[in-house]
Amino acid sequence: MGWYRSFVLSLARPGERLALAYFFLLLFLVGAGLAIGQGVANTLFLKRFGVENLPWIYFGQGVGLAAASFVYATLSDRVLPERILLAIVGAMTGLLLLLWVLGQTQWGGWSHPLLYLLQVIASEILALHFTLYIGSHFDAEQSKRLMPLALAGSQLGEVSGGLLLAVGAPVVGPANMMLLWLLTGTLALALVRAWHRRHGATRRSNSVRRGGSQWTQTLYQVRQGIGFARKSPLLRNSLWTIYFTVISLYMLSYLIKDAFVREFPRAEDLAAVFGMVTFIGGSVAFLAQTLITPRLIDRLGVRTVSLIFPLSTLFALSMFLMPWSLFAAFVGTANRRVMLPAFRNPARSLMWQALPDYMQGRVRGLTLAVVAPTAMLTAGLLVEVLRKLPGGIAGLGVAVALLAWHFSRLGNKAYMDTIVNTLKERLFVPSDQIARMPPVRDNRFFAELVLGLEGNDEVMVEGYGRILVEHFGPRAVPELLRRMDRASQPCRDRLVHLASDHVFEQHAGVWLQRLKGCDAHGRASMLGVAFRARWTQAQPHVTECLESSNPRLVACGILGGLAYGDSTLRTAALERLQKMLGSNDDASLTAALEMMNVIPLPEFRPVVCQALDKEVPRLLIHALRALDALGQPIVEAASKSRVIEIYLGATEWPLRAACVRAMGHFPHPARIDSLMLAIDDPQLQIQKIAADLLSAQGASWVAEKLLDAMQTWMLGLRGQAAAITVLADMLPIARIRGIALLYLDTACRYSEWFSLIDVTTHQGQLLSTVLGERVNQMADLGLRALALGPDRPTVEIVRAAITSDDRRQRMRCLDLLEDYADTEVREHMRRLLHPVVGAHGLVTVEEAAIALARGEDSWLARVAQQWRTA
Amino acid sequence: MERFFERLLLLKKTGTFADVNTDDLGVVVAELGEEAFSAGERVFDIGDPSDRMYLVETGKLGVSLSGDPRTTDFVSVLGPGDCFGEMGLFDDEPRSATVHVLDDAVLLTLERDKLKGLILGYPQLGLGLLRGMSRRLRGVNQLLTTTKEE
């Protein structure tokens, strides 16, 4: 389990690891109990009533699941998730006890159908509820990351439960194995109660509904789901696929159970077989999910993988048309136990990601409450009608499985249409977000992107190129190269940059052929890529570049001369570089300095420092970047003061950013002082560079210095916001909470004073405007700091509510805060949402204005002074 | 009150700058120019290049869509605190109306290049401007919907 532990440590934040361990253990217990329960319930029912009564159970399942789903949907938005969990597990355990006691009496046989239904409905509702319950403990992003780790507990529980049943049933009998199921349920109940007694209630989401008929709202959501399915071919076909898949699986299940009952007449043996198939199937599915499925999806694409399960179901059902029914039963079991969790579930989840989140939730509800129960009723009816007909169930099962396969194919097509339809929106999504999208390695998607690349709008061409490269990597390169032939020079250059990370020496021929159509700038870009990768075919171009009159090409030649390791070329390159660095021509000097960003040469450092005296922004950017690339401390007083001078005078933010990176090489204490200057930069990117460099210092005195600068308003608002993120890496969470409280306290105080100001005068209006802004700004800084702790979701809701004009949202937020554990913070947040005048002692606006005018916040002090002079 | 703060408050009350924080608005005030006009003059005519926006500090102005300089048919009358010509800061379209000075007026001006420099230097200012423009667009949409319903 070492890999699991390191995986958990890499994904979970410190405060989340204990919760993750809790979920793992809880799901293990529930998973083990349900696995035992499934085998026991099947054995007892089949032995008492025979397989011929199974269709009636299917009817009961359909009705029971639909009813339970409606009740669940009605309660899930108004009752705390842990209370629902306690109710489900408690009801399940209580009923189990009752049924076990009933089983000891003369009417014991009648408990078996109820046990069967209890097990099926409880497992479906618990599977749905655990997603909500686990999600309520983490923020949305973490929830998505940690959910599979928590659910691994259920899978391990299932495998263990299967093994326990296989070993225990022949010894103690299947009926007594119920006690083990009862035990796991009781332990799960105790665990949930103990956890919430220690850690308090979970947060309610901000969507807690009040008033109105809950039944009506649930029905409305189901109607919405049907509406979405009408509009979206992907959903429509997916729902048909689910419908036919459920029918075919229930028909298959009937055939499997029939074969097992005939083959294993003793209840103990039948229970052991159910236990063994659960154990083996669960283990294989777990391995397949971990080792095979992600690779298959990556290699073949979601569309192909989504067809594996319909085909395996078809195969399993057709096996029942052959004479070897036991073998067919094992194949069918493998289909249900391995193929379903390993291939169908992950593929469907990925496909549904193409839909908006709100749609996914509604459709999951629709599936559970309407589609699956209807399919169960249909399956029951078909099995009941056909069960006396030899080969009837298998024959019709094959036909139904074919329909499932057909709708899977239609769903696949619709999936691609959905992806392609949203393509235009994605064209303008930033690169880092594109990288986070699941890869779609699909020929039709590829063809659509290539078609988009052929367009005439070069901004769009670049967008299509970006997505093509992100999803298809090296396969995109020939297409980008082909498009370059008729692109303008700037577009050509951008396509070169897009392709540069995915181009290999195998592309060298076609890559170098494109040089003919390029201007000097384009040639330099293309040859730069080839030289850096040291392609043999490109080496002859080095001399040609070194002899060129174009500075960029010469710089590129120098890069090639230094990259290939040929001593003659290296000497020529160094001579040329010396000449360029000594040149009075700014273009030559800029090109040489740019080259030194790629290959830093310490012997030329003095020339780089000299270049700082120039006034050309582009040249200065490359000189500063070259200093950064060299990585040596900048100790010369003249260079240090010049970097700061350039920073203070620069209007172009890339130049200021280059200065800040160079400041990172100043010695202490100049480094910290200059970075603290830069952390207050109005440009966010520069703030981030400065913040990252400050975080990297890690020393406690840096933290204290930042705290001091925040308290004395040496840092402006932007600087303070950036400093909070830096301090989060340096200080324990309790100190960050203290900082947050200081800001929240200031915000509360200002909020009270704000309500006192008379706005009939200009001075009053001015003070009111500025103080009103400060209330929000201080609250925002405080909440920003708090959001770095474990309560991020609640804090984010409060943050949104404080700036909202919607009174209802503020009231809901106050309601949400009832469950907030930190009373001091809670009180501050409550006062911001609902200010109380007089809580801070000052009751007159004059006293408030004096306090503000004497404060550290110079802008507010100036405004307060204005008010006082009125 | 200091002139600086008077102008800041004036700017803060305009739809365009209402969502910009006063800390950032201070740098805009520093870039404002001042132009005085006498009654009867025109600030600009239809078709003139749009190179600056105006904010009425004092005086009264009439906005006309007619090409006739003697017209008295004004689509709106502007007074202290009103802002005009701001769309010209964001697109290169020529002026779409003529602005007549009805009473002696002092106008504060902000040139397009200066605003561009400020936005590049202070991105938060650009976001505030976008919020203001977006709010106004919503207002126009609302008005259109109401008119359509009527």
- CA–CA dist A245, A362 (Å, integer): 20
Residue A208: pLDDT band with limits 50, 70, 90:
very low
Q: Do B120 and A653 touch (CB under 8 A)?
A: yes
**Residue B147 CA from chain centroid, whole number:** 25
Tens of pLDDT, residues B61-114: 999 988 777 788 888 899 988 888 877 777 778 888 899 999 999 999 999 888
Terminal-to-terminal C-alpha distance of chain A: 72
Q: Of B6, B9, B113, B135, which to mutate for an interface test with A (greatest number of A Cβ within 10 Å)?
A: B9
Whether A18 contacts A26, CB under 8 Å: no
3-state secondary structure of B35: strand
Kindly list the residues from chain A whose CB atom is less than 8 angstroms away from the CB atom of residue B122. 682
Mean pLDDT rounded to a whole number for chain A? 84
- CA–CA dist A206, B88 (Å, integer): 42
Tokens 């990288």 correspond to A435
Closest CA to A35 of A149, A119, A121: A119
Number of domains in chain B: 1
Q: Which of B23, B117, B123 sits opposite A684 (nearest CB)?
A: B123
- CA–CA dist B136, B97 (Å, integer): 19
pLDDT at A357: 61
HSE on the CB side for A793, CA within 13 Å? 18
A232 and A192 together in one domain? no
HSE on the CB side for A558, CA within 13 Å? 28
Q: Which of B1, B8, B21 sits opposite A763 (nearest CB)?
A: B1
Distances (CA, A) of A754 to A204, A770, A835, B25: 32, 9, 10, 20
A469 vs A218 pLDDT, higher one: A469
A3 and A69 together in one domain? yes
- CA–CA dist A445, A138 (Å, integer): 34
Bridge partners (DSSP) of residue B44 are B99
Q: Do B22 and A769 touch (CB under 8 A)?
A: yes
Which tokens go with A389? 């007909």
Which of A387, A404, A421 is the last residue in one of the domains? A421
Kindly list the residues from chain B whose CB atom is less than 8 angstroms away from the CB atom of residue A863. 5, 22
The average pLDDT across A386-406 equals 88
CATH number of A366's domain = 1.20.1250.20
Q: Could you tell me if residue A545 is inside a domain?
A: no
A581 vs A228 pLDDT, higher one: A581
Kindly tell me if the per-residue pLDDT of A481 is higher than 50. Answer: yes
- H or E segment to which residue A844 belongs: none
- CA–CA dist A747, A777 (Å, integer): 8
Interface pTM, i.e. ipTM: 0.85
Which of A421, A455, A474 is the last residue in one of the domains? A421
Bridge partners (DSSP) of residue B55 are B83, B108
**Chain B: residue nearest A656 by CA?**
B121
Q: Which of A683, A717, A766 sits opposite B5 (nearest CB)?
A: A766
Q: Do B9 and A765 touch (CB under 8 A)?
A: yes
A193 and A224 together in one domain? no
Mean pLDDT rounded to a whole number for chain B? 86
For B:9-48, CB contacts with A below 8 A are 9, 12, 21-23, 26
The average pLDDT across A64-77 equals 83
Whether A133 contacts A22, CB under 8 Å: no
pLDDT at A211: 43
Tokens 């100001």 correspond to A757
Question: Closest Cα of chain A to B69: distance in Å?
Answer: 37
What is the DSSP annotation of A137-202?
TS-HHHHHHHHHHHHHHHHHHHHHHHHHHHHHHHHH-HHHHHHHHHHHHHHHHHHHHHHHHHH-PP
pLDDT at B71: 81
The average pLDDT across A19-40 equals 90
Which tokens go with A546? 């070194």
The average pLDDT across A250-261 equals 91
**Chain A: residue nearest B22 by CA?**
A770
- CA–CA dist A461, A44 (Å, integer): 65
Q: Could you tell me if residue A821 is inside a domain?
A: yes
The average pLDDT across A722-731 equals 88
Which of A391, A421, A451 is the last residue in one of the domains? A421
- What percent of chain A stands above pLDDT 70? 90
Question: Closest Cα of chain A to B22: distance in Å?
Answer: 7
A90 and A36 together in one domain? yes
Q: Could you tell me if residue A725 is inside a domain?
A: no
Kindly list the residues from chain A whose CB atom is less than 8 angstroms away from the CB atom of residue B31. none
A158 and A263 together in one domain? no
Q: Of B23, B119, B125, B127, which to mutate for an interface test with A (greatest number of A Cβ within 10 Å)?
A: B23
Tens of pLDDT, residues A339-361: 888 888 777 777 776 666 666 66
- CA–CA dist A718, A708 (Å, integer): 15
Q: Do A769 and B12 touch (CB under 8 A)?
A: yes
Q: Could you tell me if residue A480 is inside a domain?
A: no
Q: Could you tell me if residue A193 is inside a domain?
A: yes
Kindly list the residues from chain B whose CB atom is less than 8 angstroms away from the CB atom of residue A717. 23
A460 vs A611 pLDDT, higher one: A611
- CA–CA dist A855, A862 (Å, integer): 10
Residue A154: pLDDT band with limits 50, 70, 90:
confident
A37 vs A427 pLDDT, higher one: A37
Q: Could you tell me if residue A632 is inside a domain?
A: no
Q: Could you tell me if residue A288 is inside a domain?
A: yes
The average pLDDT across A14-41 equals 86
- Range of the structural domain that residue B7 is part of: 3-149
pLDDT at B29: 92
Kindly tell me if the per-residue pLDDT of A612 is higher than 90. Answer: yes
A788 and A837 together in one domain? yes
A767 and A828 together in one domain? yes
Tokens 């594996």 correspond to A308
Distances (CA, A) of B110 to A578, B17, B52: 48, 12, 5
pLDDT at A780: 93
- CA–CA dist A90, A84 (Å, integer): 9
Tens of pLDDT, residues A298-340: 777 777 888 889 999 999 999 988 888 888 999 999 988 888 8
A251 and A178 together in one domain? no
A251 and A371 together in one domain? yes
A187 and A227 together in one domain? no
CATH number of B93's domain = 2.60.120.10
3-state secondary structure of A39: helix
The 10 Å CB-count burial string (b at 16+, else e) for A426-465 is bbebeeeebeeeebbbbebbbebbbebbeeeebeebbbbb
Question: Closest Cα of chain A to B21: distance in Å?
Answer: 7
3-state secondary structure of A388: coil
A861 and A760 together in one domain? yes
Burial of A371 (0-12, 13-18, 19+ CB in 10 A): buried
Tens of pLDDT, residues A514-546: 888 788 888 898 899 899 888 988 899 999 899
Cβ within 8 Å of residue B28, ≥6 positions away: B11, B17, B20, B110, B115, B118, B125
Q: Could you tell me if residue A816 is inside a domain?
A: yes
A650 vs A845 pLDDT, higher one: A650
- CA–CA dist A691, A722 (Å, integer): 6
Whether A589 contacts A622, CB under 8 Å: no
pLDDT at A745: 92
Closest CA to A182 of A41, A43, A35, A33: A33
- Range of the structural domain that residue A131 is part of: 1-198
Q: Do B121 and A651 touch (CB under 8 A)?
A: yes
Whether A175 contacts A103, CB under 8 Å: yes
Taking phi over 0 as left and psi of -120 to 50 as alpha, with beta for the rest, A842 belongs to beta
A108 and A227 together in one domain? no
E-strand spans in B51-97? 52-64, 76-78, 83-84
Model-wide pTM > 0.90: no
Kindly list the residues from chain A whose CB atom is less than 8 angstroms away from the CB atom of residue B124. 682, 718
pLDDT at A205: 45
What is the DSSP annotation of A41-65?
HHHHHHHHH-GGGHHHHHHHHHHHH
Whether A611 contacts A644, CB under 8 Å: no
- CA–CA dist A571, A566 (Å, integer): 9
Number of CB atoms found within 10 A of residue A840's CB: 17
E-strand spans in A718-759? none
Whether A313 contacts A252, CB under 8 Å: yes
Kindly tell me if the per-residue pLDDT of A422 is higher than 70. Answer: no
- CA–CA dist A471, A431 (Å, integer): 11
Number of domains in chain A: 3
Q: Do B9 and A762 touch (CB under 8 A)?
A: yes
Q: Do B121 and A682 touch (CB under 8 A)?
A: yes
A812 vs A500 pLDDT, higher one: A500
The average pLDDT across B21-50 equals 90
